[in-house]
């Protein structure tokens, strides 16, 4: 009779996370039938079912819900054993899983990766783009080593290190460039285009404009800053974007950019990681490298 293995646990955790055999198999770099065999084998070892198999997706059984939490604790502890060994080395080597929010990743991540690989050529950087809440969950589950987000996140289990502050700017149709820049309290009266729910940048923009998080459903929302800016260029409304996004997002759109009057809306971008992460000293060092890379720009 086969015994429980780390492979079983990792495959089951991937299946529980994705809720789909195909996506889980892709993540694990194996075929879907091979993953199915491994999950079935795990259930036979345990003598009970862990998943309910549907036509399109799976659902965890009651035991499966409890089991996956214990599995994640085990996998996180095993990963941290490897991190302990890496922390004892003089140079950073091996895998570094970095999460980045979508309103930072396209504009800053390439520069940060370039700076980091120049100093640590043996480091294997694995970036992942996702909204803040997903990144926090992935950190807690041990799926990420660190993440770049807007601060604060106010999670007691996470260390927060600020990298830089950044202003938001107002993007209007090019034909409105001659108009006075509206005061913050007047933005709520305009057709303000926003990112969809789940993006922290959306919440920051609503807060600055003194608008409730539950805005009218006829207000246009988008999944990316690029779409927002293009819609402004089409004359649909106005939007706010972070200053770092201006060179990329406005180069092909018929828009004008204006700085808002003080106090301007802004955000603090920083790094977060688990307080228990054995690589805390190395991650603090990386935060310094990232800060220097931004300052040098």
Do 289 and 147 sit in the same domain of this protein? yes
pLDDT at 74 (0 to 100): 87
- Of 117-131, 208-222, 278-292, the poorest mean pLDDT is in 208-222
88 — pLDDT class (breaks 50, 70, 90): low
Residue 55 lies in a domain: yes
pLDDT at 214 (0 to 100): 55
Residue 27 lies in a domain: yes
The answer to whether the peptide bond before residue 152 is cis (omega within 30 degrees of 0) is: yes
Residue 82 lies in a domain: no
- Last residue of one domain, picked from the residues 24, 56, 77: 77
Do 34 and 166 sit in the same domain of this protein? no
What are 154-183's pLDDT values in tens digits? 899 999 999 999 999 999 999 988 888 887
The answer to whether residue 252 scores a pLDDT higher than 90 is no
Do 111 and 176 sit in the same domain of this protein? yes
Which residue has better confidence, 215 or 296?
A: 296
Which residue has better confidence, 3 or 218?
A: 3
Residue 1 lies in a domain: no
Do 168 and 22 sit in the same domain of this protein? no
Do 95 and 69 sit in the same domain of this protein? no
CB 231 within 8 A of CB 193: yes
Do 171 and 230 sit in the same domain of this protein? yes
CA distances from 280 to 114, 161, 186, 237 (A): 21, 11, 44, 44
Residue 210 lies in a domain: yes
pLDDT at 99 (0 to 100): 96
Find, among 32, 35, 26, 27, the residue nearest to 7 by Cα. Answer: 35
Return the bridge partners of 55, or none: none
Which residue has better confidence, 193 or 135?
A: 135
- Last residue of one domain, picked from the residues 53, 77, 101: 77
The answer to whether residue 56 scores a pLDDT higher than 60 is yes
Do 280 and 236 sit in the same domain of this protein? yes
Do 224 and 128 sit in the same domain of this protein? yes
Residue 56 lies in a domain: yes
How many domains, in total, are found in the chain? 2
Do 48 and 191 sit in the same domain of this protein? no
Do 59 and 183 sit in the same domain of this protein? no
Model's pTM, two decimal places?
A: 0.76
Q: Name the most confidently modeled range: 84-93, 201-210, 253-262.
A: 253-262
Parent domain of 125? 89-297
pLDDT at 172 (0 to 100): 93
CA distances from 32 to 22, 143, 163 (A): 6, 21, 41
Do 96 and 36 sit in the same domain of this protein? no
pLDDT at 89 (0 to 100): 67
Do 16 and 106 sit in the same domain of this protein? no
Q: Which long-range contacts (CB under 8 A, 24 or more apart) does 31-40 make?
A: 35/11, 38/7, 38/8, 38/11, 39/11, 39/12, 39/15
- Of 4-13, 72-81, 122-131, the poorest mean pLDDT is in 72-81
Domain containing residue 15: CATH number: 1.10.10.10
Distance CA 182, CA 256 (A): 14
Average pLDDT over residues 66-75: 88
Average pLDDT over residues 27-40: 90
Residue 51 lies in a domain: yes
Residue 267 lies in a domain: yes
pLDDT at 100 (0 to 100): 96
What are 189-247's pLDDT values in tens digits? 788 888 887 778 888 877 777 666 655 545 678 889 999 999 999 998 899 999 999 99
pLDDT at 78 (0 to 100): 82
Which residue has better confidence, 221 or 59?
A: 59
* Average pLDDT of the chain to the nearest whole number: 86
């Amino acid at each position: 009779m086969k015994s429980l293995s780390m492979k079983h646990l990792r495959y089951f955790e991937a299946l529980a996370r994705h809720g789909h055999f195909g996506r889980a198999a892709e993540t694990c770099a194996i075929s879907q039938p091979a993953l199915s065999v491994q999950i079935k084998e795990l259930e036979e070892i345990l003598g009970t079912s862990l998943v309910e198999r549907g036509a399109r997706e799976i659902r965890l059984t009651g035991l499966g819900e409890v089991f996956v939490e214990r599995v994640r604790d085990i996998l996180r502890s095993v990963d941290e054993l490897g991190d302990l060994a890496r922390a004892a080395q003089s140079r950073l080597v091996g895998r570094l899983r970095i999460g980045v929010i979508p309103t930072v990743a396209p504009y800053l991540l390439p520069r940060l990766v370039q700076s980091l690989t120049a100093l640590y050529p043996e480091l294997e950087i694995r970036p992942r783009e996702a909204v803040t809440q997903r990144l926090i969950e992935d950190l807690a589950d041990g799926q990420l080593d660190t993440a770049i987000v807007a601060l604060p996140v106010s999670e007691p289990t996470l260390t927060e290190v600020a990298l830089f502050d950044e202003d938001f700017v107002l993007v209007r149709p090019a034909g409105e460039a001659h108009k006075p820049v509206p005061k913050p309290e007047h933005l709520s009266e305009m057709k303000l285009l926003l990112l969809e729910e789940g993006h922290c940048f959306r919440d920051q923009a609503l807060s600055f404009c003194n608008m409730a998080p539950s805005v009218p459903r006829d207000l246009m929302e988008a999944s990316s800053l690029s779409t927002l800016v293009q819609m402004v260029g089409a004359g649909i409304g106005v939007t706010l974007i972070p200053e770092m996004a201006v060179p990329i997002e406005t180069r092909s759109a018929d828009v004008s950019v204006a700085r808002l009057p003080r106090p301007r809306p802004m955000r603090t971008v920083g790094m977060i990681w688990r307080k228990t992460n054995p690589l805390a000293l190395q991650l603090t060092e990386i935060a310094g490298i990232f800060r220097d890379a931004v300052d040098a720009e």
